Amino acid sequence: MVHGESGDGIGFAVVGADHLHLFSIVGGLVGGGARPVAHVESGDLIAGYASWQAGSEARTFDDVLADPDIDLVVTVGVPDERGAAAIAALEAGKPVLSAKPGVTTRDALHRIRELVADRPGRPWTVLFTERFENRATRRAIEMARAGAVGRIVHVTGTGPHTLAAESRPDWFFDPARSGGILVDLASHQADQFLALCGSAEPGGGVEVAAARVGNVACPDHPGMQDVGSMTLLAPGVVGEHRVDLLSPRGLATWGDVRLMVVGTDGTLEVRANVDVAGADGAEHLIVTDHEGVRRVDVSGDEASWADDLLADLADGGERLMTQDHVLTVCDLTLRAREVAVGWGTA
């Protein structure tokens, strides 16, 4: 049952605990007023989770699905397990909040598409944290959509990450389990491009023009991918995206994530996590237009993904993003993986 119009009091269960996103996602939900009712005892991080959220009870997945006090299933398992968890939850009538990537196979996406087709709102949410947890990225997208730099012409999105091989579980090095670098990491860039340039039609009018993956610095794991690129097109817009696991150790954060939007009347540039050799802190947004160059202070913006999500669950709304948006991002990254050629090859 859903409690109140704001979604305050919604009960949730955690099914799968294999990525640190678990803590920011649950932190957001609890901060928004949701209740950690239960968790399934699986995943490398579940012990830490259980001690953090001591009110959450260990249950079987079947018990979770049968419990009417659980309004939302949260899955942060190994990527290739998230699709099955989401499908089971949706089949049991429960909405799902998944870490990205939401699915790693076409079959899983197809089944989820069937399950959400006739339901109101957004039963299946994938949280693209590089946007929803970064106020500069959110504000840049809002400004661009509102025409702040004229018509959008070109987008560059880059998502470098630290490899930190010693701290990664085995599944991280297996594309069959992680989904591969385009499905896993570039889902953020697909999300941002679609949010920037997508139309209201199903699929948003966005297509994949080219993609590449490679292994350039991980000889111990020859099957894994540590670099990927993806060209996305929208009507009148070209988007070039790069993801990698090459962030050097001298960087003060996990990745110098950037977003550059070129419009007919200016540019919006986001330096999401760090402004290298520049200003302190994170969430940098720089606007260059016909008036001049200026930084936009986003520190007063609400970081409200959980409020929007919980309100959406309460009333069947699509404030945070539409169901079609989620499906389309996953479709685009699967498509990119399907058409990807080797790094540096045509």
Binding mask 31-60 for its own copies (x = CB under 8 A): ------------------------------
Among 30, 92, 165, 233, binds its own copies (CB under 8 A): 233
Smaller CB separation from its own copies, 269 or 312: 269
Binding of its own copies by 344 (CB under 8 A): yes
Distance CA 325, CA 98 (A): 14
User: Where are the alpha helices (H) located in the chain, listed in sequence order?
Assistant: 21-31, 46-52, 61-66, 79-91, 106-116, 129-132, 135-145, 175-178, 181-184, 187-197, 305-315, 323-339
Asked if residue 16 lies in contact with residue 82, where contact means CB atoms within 8 angstroms, the answer is: yes
Of 80, 184, 240, 312, which one interacts with its own copies (CB under 8 A)? 240
Residue that is written with structure tokens 């817009």 in the block:
237
Piece in contact with its own copies (CB under 8 A), picked from 29-37, 137-145, 277-285, 317-325: 277-285
**Beta-carbon count within 10 A of 90 CB:** 20
Range 285-314, binding its own copies (CB under 8 A): 286, 288-295
Q: Please tell me whether residue 266 binds its own copies under the rule CB under 8 A.
A: yes
Distance set, CA 206 to CA 103, 181, 209, 234 (Å): 19, 20, 10, 5
One symbol per residue from 135 to 164: x for binding its own copies (CB under 8 A), - otherwise; what is it?
--------------xxx-xx-x-x-x----
DSSP H or E segment with residue 38: strand 35-40
Answer yes or no whether residue 227 interacts with its own copies by CB under 8 A: yes
CA distance 289 to 285: 13
Return residues touching its own copies (CB under 8 A): 149-151, 153-154, 156, 158, 160, 207, 209-210, 212, 214, 216-217, 227, 229, 231, 233-238, 240, 242, 244, 246, 248-252, 256, 262-267, 269, 275-279, 286, 288-295, 343-346
